Structure 1
Amino acid sequence: MRRFSLWLRGKPFVADSMLAAVFFALECLSAPNGRSPALFVLLGVLLSVPIAFRRRLPVLAAVTILGASILTTAVSDWIGDDRVTHPAQLGLIVMLYTLVAYVGRRPAAIYLVGLTADAAFAISMLHQEVLTTAAFIALIYALAWITAEFLGARRLYDEEVAARLTVAEYDRDRRAEEAVAGERTRIARELHDVVAHAVSVMVVQADGASYSLPGNTEAAQKALGNISSTGREALSELRRTVALLRTEQTPAEMPQHGSAGLAKVVAMMRDAGLGVELEMTGELDDIRPAVSLGIHRVVQESLTNVLRHAGPSPRAWVAVRRRAEDVLVEVTDNGSGSSTFTHGSGNGLVGMRERVAVLQGNLETGRLPDGSWRVRAELPLTLED
């Protein structure tokens, strides 16, 4: 029964048609008591059918049933059939309720004036007792109005709650999608930083080894050793990243950042043939991990770009300064390379910009008047709410 009720709630026209059918059945049961059963049934049709359209066409249905009620009173008086009432005239109460609940108070108030005129006309034409009949009709209409107000308010409340739940569900799904997209971007950035740096160093070292192999075996062996150590370091970084993806807990072995991590990156780049000078000012080892990792990746990516693009004798100067509210990172090369990057996808600068933006910092990249290329990042020590 409850399942059927829920089904009807989703199909209002079916429910209203069933109510109209009930009224018409009552009309048919009362028809034999009238002077003209056929005419009685015809009037019953006029009173019952509008009920089926009370929610589809509420105003038209209300006017139609009111007109049918006035016509019914006039016909009953004309044929002298004032002993039998039409059960379908209860539809007037239903239509008053419908207008209050679904259309508005003003149309319902106008309709109530029409109902009052119809009641006065019926009392006058059918010679009914005035006070008793008027009091009873007034009570019925008042109950219909109050019920409509209560149930209408409840229906509006339910619709508002349903709308808010829909918005909340949509917002939850959107946040989940944004979180997934953000996590994918973060993972891609991490993998790019690790792989691009290591592979760039390995490519440069492999080229150097191929040039040195015929006449300088020692230099070639050193380059091959750097390729091996760089590959192992990249593999270790990849394993750490995968470990972070597989568990919510922090693995025991974490990448080394801070001053020691910067020194390690600089040493690796020197082994690859890049002349690097490092200047660190202020305490860099007690910075929160996100900022420390950001500094590490900016320096790593900048030096990798210098190694790839700054010409045959590349040099770079790295300055990391902790200030009162932020950390300043500057990486400048010697400007001996070409004016434009001829290799690479450009994801390095994009990745740096995204990382700095996540940390609410500022990133400036570009060529200086003397021809050198500079990367300048300012990373705040604390995030703003």
Structure 2
Amino acid sequence: MRRFSLWLRDKPIVADSVLAALMFALEIIGANQAANTVVYLQIGVLLPLPLVLRRVYPTAMAFVLLGLSFVTSVVGYLTHDDADHLALIGLGIMLYTVVAYVGRREGLLFALGLVIDTVLSHVAIDKPQGRDVLVTVMVYALCWAIAEFVGARRAYDAEVAARLAVADYDIARSAHEAVAAERTRIARELHDVVAHSVSVIIVQADGARYALRNDPDVAEQALNTIAGTGREALRELRRTVALLRTEHAPGQLPQHGTAGIANMVEMMRGTGLAVELELTGELDAIAPEVSLGVHRIVQESLTNTLRHAGPHPKAWVRVRREPGAVTVEITDSGGVPVRAPQRITGSGLGLVGMRERTAVLGGTLETGRARDGGWRVRARIPVVTQPDDESVSVPDESDGES
């Protein structure tokens, strides 16, 4: 039964055609009291027709039926036939339709037409008692009241449907943004782990190839660096994949600290990159996510120096713990890039990844040429010290845009 009612709601012409058929049945019943049955039935066929399209063209059909009511009054006056057309009940239905589906202004215009029609049909022609006029007014008032209730209900349902549509859109958009953010996070982690190690391996492999015949000791050292870098990259990759497979809390992130930075700098020195390291403050007490961010920024910056700073690159790394933040500054000597056969081209995502990582932590990142021609990377990540001397990152919404 519910399915049938929903089906009728989607096909208003079908339901209104049934209503029009009922009105015509009433006309057939009332034909027995008409003085001229043929004329009565001819009008009786026309009166229910506007009801068929009352919800498709509510205003137009309402005034068409009102016009037919005027015609009925004129014909009744000319033929001296005072038989009532029962299908004129449709005037009340039309008043309800106009108010509920169109609006009060159109409803008031139609109600004014009904007043004129009532005066014309009841007073000028039939001259009935005042009780009949009162009953007619009460019927129209009841139709208006029902229309107000139904209209308010329809408006409420429409607002609820609109809010549900907006909520569904927001849920879908949030899910899409969450997937995109997760893909970005995975890409950033994999880039930081793989790109650094692969760059070191390529540089050492090229060096080993050239030194293999002339200086076997240098070639052996390069191969040892390649092996160590590969093992470290494999450990980092396994740890990253393990973290990405679980909904890890910030406390489960790897804590690199000063030892991790020192080890990474020492490995870069083994590749031939001259690095000066300066660590200031309690860097091992900062939150794991900040420690990882600092580590990745230094790692990516030194990798870029190894790639682009020329045949004899040199870099300066300064990491300082300040009262409210950790400042990371990496500068290099610049220089002329190596020749094409040895040059390592990057994907261009290193700076983007550093900027994204810094923004997630609520910090700021500055990159560009230094005054001496070298390249400079400077990041500032806010932290706050807890009473137990543990630090957590405090995102700053004003500085969180990259």
After TM superposition, the score normalised by the length of structure 2 is 0.89
CA separation in 1, counterparts of 2:86 and 2:159?
A: 37
Q: CA RMSD in A?
A: 2.2
8 Å contact 1:240–1:254 — kept in the other structure?
A: no
Match of 1:269 in 2: 268
Shift of 1:176: 0.7
Aligned residues: 384
Alignment of 1:126-275 (within 5 A): 126-127=125-126, 129-249=128-248, 255-275=254-274
Match of 2:345 in 1: 343
8 Å contact 2:253–2:289 — kept in the other structure?
A: no
CA separation in 1, counterparts of 2:333 and 2:396?
A: 36
Shift of 1:262: 1.2
Q: Secondary structure of 2:310's match?
A: coil
Supply the AA of the counterpart residue of 1:36.
N
CA separation in 2, counterparts of 1:21 and 1:267?
A: 94
Match of 1:360 in 2: 362
Supply the AA of the counterpart residue of 1:72.
T
Supply the AA of the counterpart residue of 1:218.
D
Alignment of 1:12-51 (within 5 A): 12-51=12-51
After superposition, the C-alpha distances for 1:10-32 in whole angstroms (9 at most, x for unaligned) are 22233223222221232234334
Which 5+ residue runs of structure 2 have no aligned equivalent? 384-393, 398-402
- In the superposition, relative to structure 1, how do residues 250 and 228 fare at CA in structure 2: closer, same or farther (>3 Å)? farther
Percentage identity across paired residues of the two chains: 57
- In the superposition, relative to structure 1, how do residues 232 and 254 fare at CA in structure 2: closer, same or farther (>3 Å)? farther
User: After the TM superposition, which of the residue ranges 259-268 and 153-162 deviates more from structure 2?
Assistant: 259-268
Shift of 1:141: 1.0
- In the superposition, relative to structure 1, how do residues 251 and 354 fare at CA in structure 2: closer, same or farther (>3 Å)? closer
CA separation in 1, counterparts of 2:357 and 2:395?
A: 14
After superposition, the C-alpha distances for 1:235-286 in whole angstroms (9 at most, x for unaligned) are 1111122212322246998534222221121121112221111111122223
8 Å contact 2:269–2:275 — kept in the other structure?
A: yes
8 Å contact 1:73–1:125 — kept in the other structure?
A: no
8 Å contact 1:194–1:234 — kept in the other structure?
A: yes
CA separation in 2, counterparts of 1:165 and 1:254?
A: 38
Shift of 1:128: 5.1
- In the superposition, relative to structure 1, how do residues 249 and 374 fare at CA in structure 2: closer, same or farther (>3 Å)? closer
8 Å contact 1:327–1:380 — kept in the other structure?
A: yes
Shift of 1:38: 2.9
CA separation in 2, counterparts of 1:145 and 1:66?
A: 16
- In the superposition, relative to structure 1, how do residues 267 and 296 fare at CA in structure 2: closer, same or farther (>3 Å)? same
- In the superposition, relative to structure 1, how do residues 20 and 339 fare at CA in structure 2: closer, same or farther (>3 Å)? farther
- In the superposition, relative to structure 1, how do residues 313 and 285 fare at CA in structure 2: closer, same or farther (>3 Å)? same
Q: Secondary structure of 1:330's match?
A: strand
CA separation in 2, counterparts of 1:185 and 1:266?
A: 27
Counterpart check, 1:332 vs 2:344: no
CA separation in 2, counterparts of 1:23 and 1:43?
A: 12
Match of 1:384 in 2: 396
User: After the TM superposition, which of the residue ranges 192-201 and 232-241 deviates more from structure 2?
Assistant: 232-241
Match of 1:60 in 2: 60
Q: Secondary structure of 2:56's match?
A: coil
- In the superposition, relative to structure 1, how do residues 342 and 321 fare at CA in structure 2: closer, same or farther (>3 Å)? same
CA separation in 2, counterparts of 1:144 and 1:168?
A: 36
User: After the TM superposition, which of the residue ranges 334-343 and 130-139 deviates more from structure 2?
Assistant: 334-343
- In the superposition, relative to structure 1, how do residues 174 and 121 fare at CA in structure 2: closer, same or farther (>3 Å)? same
CA separation in 2, counterparts of 1:102 and 1:250?
A: 55
Match of 1:303 in 2: 302
CA separation in 1, counterparts of 2:313 and 2:22?
A: 94
User: After the TM superposition, which of the residue ranges 7-16 and 152-161 deviates more from structure 2?
Assistant: 7-16
8 Å contact 2:250–2:289 — kept in the other structure?
A: no
Match of 1:108 in 2: 107
After superposition, the C-alpha distances for 1:179-228 in whole angstroms (9 at most, x for unaligned) are 10111011111111111000001111111211221132222222111111
- In the superposition, relative to structure 1, how do residues 252 and 129 fare at CA in structure 2: closer, same or farther (>3 Å)? closer
CA separation in 2, counterparts of 1:246 and 1:375?
A: 32
User: After the TM superposition, which of the residue ranges 225-234 and 330-339 deviates more from structure 2?
Assistant: 330-339
CA separation in 1, counterparts of 2:263 and 2:300?
A: 14
CA separation in 2, counterparts of 1:208 and 1:338?
A: 16
CA separation in 2, counterparts of 1:374 and 1:303?
A: 11
Shift of 1:108: 1.4
8 Å contact 1:77–1:125 — kept in the other structure?
A: no
CA separation in 2, counterparts of 1:252 and 1:133?
A: 84
